[in-house]
Amino acid sequence: MLGQQRLAEYLSHILEAIDRIYRYTKDMDESAFANNPLVQDAVIRNLEIIGEASHNIEKRYATFAASHPELPLSSAYQMRNAVAHGYFKVDLEIVWRTIQRELPSLHEQVKALLAGVRG
């Protein structure tokens, strides 16, 4: 049971990070995002959280990860590495596209899986 509880925590971390990114970028377009380093830093930090939680799921819950290949766990971890180690060379266009194109489906997938894990 403890394993399922920890898995649920990782999934919750992903959802919470996505929700924060949505709050930080609400009512922004790409130009506003590109010109707001405070929001950029907040978004990047939450992408790191998504990536780290994704990596923990892959590493500690390999069976779960393998049974859900639709979850972009390794891609999320790669994004985490790119933003965590990019320092001042992060490609903000890629970050913005990720927010707009990837996070909505990830949010829905994780939300559904979390409901199943919690039972």
Q: 55, 68, 85, 107: which is the annotated catalytic residue? A: 85
Active-site residue, selected from the candidate residues 6, 20, 45, 80? 80
Whether 23 is catalytic: no
Q: What DSSP designation does 114 have?
A: H
Whether 85 is a known active-site residue: answer yes
CB 42 within 8 A of CB 24: yes
Closest CA to 119 of 6, 9, 3, 8: 8
Active site residues: 80, 85
